Structure 1
Amino acid sequence: MEKDLTILSQDILEQVKLSCQIPSVVDAIATRKIIKAAANQVGIKTEAEELQQAANSLRLNNKLLKAEDTWEWLEKHHLSLDDFEELAYTNLLSKKLAIHLFGNEVERIFYEHQLDYTGAVIYQVILDDEDLALELFYALQEGEITFQELARQYIQEPELRRAGGYLGIQRRAEMKPEIAAAVFAAMPPQILKPIMTQKGVHLIRVEEIIQPELDEQLRVKILGDLFTNWLKQQIAELQIVIQMEDNNVQNKVDEPKLANAN
C-alpha cells in the first residue's frame, strides 16, 4: 500500500454525505448567510478595532496563545488567514446583530422568566437499582457514608467521580421537571429522596439555592438564547434546496428572505 494519500474536495463532500452531516452543514451555511443578509439589511457596520478584538477573542477561545499556535491551528483546519478573518468577521456580525435585535429585550425576558433562572448547587449520583438507591439514601441520612464516598464507588466517569458528583450551578430551566420540583423545594444542605427518571435513579445533594441575578454572564446567555431561537425560526421559514453535482436543482439558500430583522 502506498504511503501517500491524496484527498480531493469531492472525497470530503462524499464523506460528509455518508456520515449524514449534510443537514448540520446546510444549517451552518444558512445561518451564516442569514446573519450577513440581516446585518446588511439593518445597516450594521464593523470597525477595524472591533474586528481585531473579535480576532483576539477567536484566538483566546481556541487557546491560540502564540503565533505558532495560530499557524498550526490554521494548517490543521486547512484555513487561510483570509478564512480566519472571515470567521472573526462572522462572529462579530453575529454579536452586533444579536444586540441590535434583542439587546433591549434581555431585562424583560429575565424578569418574566426569573424563576427559570434560579440556580442550585448540586451533587448527583445516578444508579440503576431503586432498592440500592433507597438503601444508600438512608445510609447518607445516618451518616454511615458521605456523598463523596458514594460518588467514588458508583460514578463511572472519571472527572465527575473525582469531583464527587459535583454538577456546579444548575438552573431550573435546565433540569427535568420532576428533579427541579424536588431540588427547589429543598432546604439546603439536604439529600433528596431518590428520584426516578429515564436515565435511572437520581441521588442528589442540594448544597445551595442561588437566587437569580442579571449579571453579565446571564445577560449573554439570555441574548444568545433569543438570537439562536430567531435563527432557527429564520431557517425554518426558508425553502432550502441543495444543488449537488449529480442533479440540476437550484440552491435557494443563497438569498434568504428575512423576517423580523429590524
Structure 2
Amino acid sequence: MSITITPSDIFKAVQISCQIPEFIEQIVTRKIIEEAAKKAGIKIETEELQKAADEFRLGNQLQNAEDTWKWLEKYSLSLDSFEELVYINLISNKLVNHLFGDKIDAYFFQNQLDYGGVVMYEVVLEDKDLALELFYGIQEGEMSFYEVAHQYIAEQELRRKCGYLGMVNRKNLKPEISAVVFAANPPQVLKPIITSKGVHLILVEEIVKPELNQNLARKIAADLFTDWLKEQIAQVEVIKQLEVQIN
C-alpha cells in the first residue's frame, strides 16, 4: 500500500489541527526579523553562513554528508531551504546583538534582584495548625525537616528528594514567599507561609547572588528580543491569503 501526500494534504492537516495561528505568527516573526535586519544594514557574509551551517550540523549530530541528507529528507528540506533556515537563525542572532548587545549590563543592574536565586526545600500542607506544630517540632529538635518532608509529601519523586526544589529564581516565587525567603539566614527553616496554594514549610539552604555571566547575558538578550518581537507583532496587520484548492 502506498499513500501520496500533497502540499494540500499538509495544509489541510495544519488547518484542522487548529495550528494556523501559530504558523502565521512564525511567518510574521520571520518577516519582521528580516525587515528589521535590512533596515539596520545587517548582512551575512558567505563565510559566516558556512560556519553557522557547520555549527548547526554539529549541534544536530550530522557528522557526514549521509547524515545530513537523511535529516533533510526527514524534514522535507532542500539545500536552499536548509541554507534559509541557517540564515534566519544567524541573522536573528545578529539582530539581537545589534538591538540589545549594549543594553544587557544596564538591564541586569536595574533588575538584578529578579535574577537572584535560592536553593530550597518545601513541604506544602493544607492545615496551618499542623504546619506550625511541625515547624516548632523542627525548631526544638524533635524531628528534622527531611523527616517531615518524607512523611507529608504525597508526590513520590518529590518525597524521595525530601522536597528539594533545586535553585529557584526569585521571579519564579510568589511575592509573599520571596520576601521571606530572601530575608532568611541560611540554613534556616522558615515559619509557615500561607498562600493560595496552601501552607508552605520551607528550608532555605542557600541564597544565590545574581552574577552576570555569559549564560545569563544570553538569557537577558533573548528575553529582551522576545518582548521586542511581541511589540512588533502587535503592530502588524496580517493579510492572510489562505485559499488553497483541496482536491
* TM superposition score normalised by structure 1: 0.77
8 Å CA contact 1:122–1:167 kept in 2: the answer is yes
Determine if the alignment matches structure 1 residue 74 to structure 2 residue 72.
yes
Alignment size in residue pairs = 243
Among residues 52, 55, 59, which one is paired with 1:54 in the alignment? 52
Tell me how far 1:135 sits from its aligned partner. Answer: 5.5
Letter in 2 for 1:156: E
The runs of at least 4 aligned residues of structure 1 exceeding 6 Å deviation read none
8 Å CA contact 2:57–2:63 kept in 1: the answer is no
Query: Who is 1:207 aligned against?
Result: 205
Return the alpha-carbon distance in structure 1 between the equivalents of residues 218 and 186 of structure 2. 28
Return the alpha-carbon distance in structure 1 between the equivalents of residues 156 and 21 of structure 2. 31
Please identify, of 230-239 and 17-26, the stretch whose mean Cα deviation from structure 2 is larger.
17-26
1:215-256 Cα offsets, whole Å, 9 max, x none, are: 111111111111111111000000113221169xxxxxxxxx
The aligned runs of 1:88-237 (5 Å cut-off) are 88-127=86-125, 133-134=131-132, 137=135, 140-141=138-139, 142=141, 144-147=143-146, 150=149, 154=153, 156=155, 158=157, 163-237=161-235
Alignment RMSD, CA only? 3.1
Tell me how far 1:213 sits from its aligned partner. Answer: 1.6
Letter in 2 for 1:235: I
Tell me how far 1:93 sits from its aligned partner. Answer: 0.7
SS in 2 for 1:207: strand
8 Å CA contact 1:140–1:146 kept in 2: the answer is yes
Which runs of 5 or more residues in structure 1 are unaligned?
Answer: 248-262
Return the alpha-carbon distance in structure 2 between the equivalents of residues 83 and 128 of structure 1. 55
Tell me how far 1:151 sits from its aligned partner. Answer: 5.7
Return the alpha-carbon distance in structure 1 between the equivalents of residues 16 and 154 of structure 2. 35
Return the alpha-carbon distance in structure 2 between the equivalents of residues 82 and 232 of structure 1. 29
Among residues 31, 34, 37, which one is paired with 1:36 in the alignment? 34
SS in 2 for 1:113: helix
Return the alpha-carbon distance in structure 1 between the equivalents of residues 194 and 45 of structure 2. 53
SS in 2 for 1:167: strand
8 Å CA contact 1:125–1:151 kept in 2: the answer is no
Return the alpha-carbon distance in structure 2 between the equivalents of residues 61 and 143 of structure 1. 53
Tell me how far 1:183 sits from its aligned partner. Answer: 1.6
Among residues 9, 22, 25, which one is paired with 2:23 in the alignment? 25
Please identify, of 135-144 and 201-210, the stretch whose mean Cα deviation from structure 2 is larger.
135-144
1:182-239 Cα offsets, whole Å, 9 max, x none, are: 2212211223344444444444332211112211111111111111111110000001
Which runs of 5 or more residues in structure 2 are unaligned?
Answer: none
Q: 1:242 to 1:125 in 2, by over 3 A?
A: farther
Tell me how far 1:98 sits from its aligned partner. Answer: 0.8
SS in 1 for 2:186: coil
1:67-105 Cα offsets, whole Å, 9 max, x none, are: 365444433333333333222211111111011111111
Q: 1:93 to 1:123 in 2, by over 3 A?
A: farther
SS in 1 for 2:168: strand
1:106-147 Cα offsets, whole Å, 9 max, x none, are: 111111112222221223344566566556555555463553
Q: 1:13 to 1:176 in 2, by over 3 A?
A: farther
Return the alpha-carbon distance in structure 2 between the equivalents of residues 72 and 151 of structure 1. 49
1:145-170 Cα offsets, whole Å, 9 max, x none, are: 55388369736374x56655443332
Letter in 1 for 2:63: K
8 Å CA contact 1:16–1:22 kept in 2: the answer is yes
Q: 1:66 to 1:195 in 2, by over 3 A?
A: farther
